[in-house]
Amino acid sequence: MKRYGRITGWGKSVPQRILTNHDLEQMVDTSDEWIVTRTGIRERHIVGPGETTATMSVEACQKALERAEVGPEEVDLIIVATSTPDYLCPPVSSIVQDQLGATRAAAFTLVAGCTGFVYGLVTASQFIETGLYERVLVIGVETLSAGVDWTDRTTCVLFGDGGAAVLVEASDQPTGILSCELGSDGSDWDALWYPGGGCARPFSEEVLRNREHYLRMDGRRIFRFATRKMTEAVTNVVRASGLPWDDIELIIPHQANARIIDLAVRRLGVAPEKVMVNIDRYGNTSAASIPLALCDALEEGRLKSGDHVVLVGFGAGLTWAAAVLHWQPERVAEEPIRVEDWPLLSNLFQPITRVRNVVWSTQVAARARLQDVTLAAMTPIYQWQRRLRRK
């Protein structure tokens, strides 16, 4: 019998402390208007004493397990997606496993930048579909404030801390991930990175003096990569799922920048209300971004049982990941097959769906090319205006 991975529980954890744009005005040369216009961010959560990647992970997992009515001792595997563990060694996943009381669980940490949660969700589903495990916790969590240079206004305004988790359980009813795409383009590996602190350039007085232990980012390269890959990845996974585009009820993108999301939405030709955006409340929380948005979408009633949702992210590496998910957290009762559900009718409609998706993806590609040409033409004008303002 074929097995499927069903998300049955979810929970989030964010620090109590909130750092607003107005607070940042007192720390660096910036303003609320400047930050909101360029990023869409109004506030972010920052860890306080005693709050770490591990503590947020444990709290999020406890909420997910409580919702699913599953005990920690019943969990088989814990996957922690993060780039900001409590320590370089041991892995934070083992700390989470111990503090949670998941005595039977294996555990590992997955490092894939902002795409880590989707990578982890796909990995969990594979473990379940092969029959190896029954219950897997997937966590996306970050303490980015520990690696941000709070004197650099180009990066410190962007990031926040937080975490969220889901429990994936085995099911014999079709649900869960319908299609997915994972990718990496290492040619831009230094577009988002910590120059110092690794084995290539260990911690030293020089590393600290040059502030190389803080996160550095090439915003232009990431913007170009993100807008292109988000559009392509969403198009690819929707086509691979076999669903008509109209059957997608919600898109949950990585919350990196409101301008990136807005451009991708226009390229896809999707109504803004079908896209989950909460970057204004959290900032960019990297691997925690998508699961935090998922939890908020459920709290706001924007995702209901039986819906289809697209998760899509991009991040350091540079990496990207997308998945079409059938959202069915509870087991549904077996029902008699209705006429409209017969395989014969389904097979008849498949060619029509494929044609519709080809037309839609062609339109998306055309809009993307037009926007690329427009941006290329307008960039010199923007740069000229910027030089005039500086004079």
Residues catalogued as catalytic: 114, 254, 284
How remote is the C-alpha of 87 from its chain's centroid?
A: 23
DSSP per-residue codes, 51-105: --HHHHHHHHHHHHHHHHT--GGG--EEEEE-S--S-SSS-HHHHHHHHHT-TT-
d(CA 322, CA 268): 15
d(CA 47, CA 153): 19
d(CA 290, CA 166): 11
d(CA 63, CA 137): 11
Secondary structure (3-state) at 2: coil
Could you give phi then psi for residue 46, rounded to 5 degrees? -130, 135
Q: Which two three-digit tokens encode residue 349?
A: 């409609």
d(CA 27, CA 23): 7
> Is residue 113 classed exposed, middle or buried when 0-12, 13-18 and 19+ CB atoms within 10 A define those classes?
buried
Secondary structure (3-state) at 301: coil
Using the 8-state DSSP alphabet, how is residue 300 labeled? T
> Considering only CA atoms, which of 82, 77, 81 is closest in space to residue 102?
77
Q: Which two three-digit tokens encode residue 45?
A: 């959560």
Q: Where are the alpha helices (DSSP H) in the chain?
A: 21-25, 32-39, 53-68, 92-100, 116-129, 153-156, 205-209, 219-241, 258-268, 279-282, 289-299, 343-390
Q: Which residues pair with 109 in a beta bridge?
A: 80
Q: Which two three-digit tokens encode residue 123?
A: 């990995």
